[in-house]
Amino acid sequence: MKPALLQSFRSSRIFAEGWNAARTSLLDIAQADKNPYPPGPEHQRWSEGFAQAQSR
């Protein structure tokens, strides 16, 4: 796989982790504090997934 494709795939998986965390936590906003990534791009992407799952 090309590096850019790998990065896109990893980013989508991180987003999905955040999404799944929100859906399995019964949409409890306090779960957002359980983001397993340090501040940075991965942390932001996980939070985006979490937030999007809560908005549905």
Give the tens place of pLDDT for each residue, 2-38.
788 889 999 999 999 999 988 876 656 666 678 999 9
The Cα 29–Cα 50 span in angstroms is 9
In terms of residue numbers, what domain contains 34? 7-54
| pTM of the predicted model as reported, rounded to 2 decimal places | 0.76
pLDDT of residue 29: 63
Name the domain count of the chain. 1
Q: Smallest Cα–Cα separation from 50: which of 38, 32, 26, 36? A: 32
**Is the predicted pLDDT of residue 41 greater than 90, yes or no?**
yes
Q: Smallest Cα–Cα separation from 51: which of 21, 7, 6, 9? A: 21
The Cα 36–Cα 45 span in angstroms is 11
**Is the predicted pLDDT of residue 44 greater than 90, yes or no?**
yes
Helices (H), 1-56: 3-24, 41-54
pLDDT of residue 15: 95
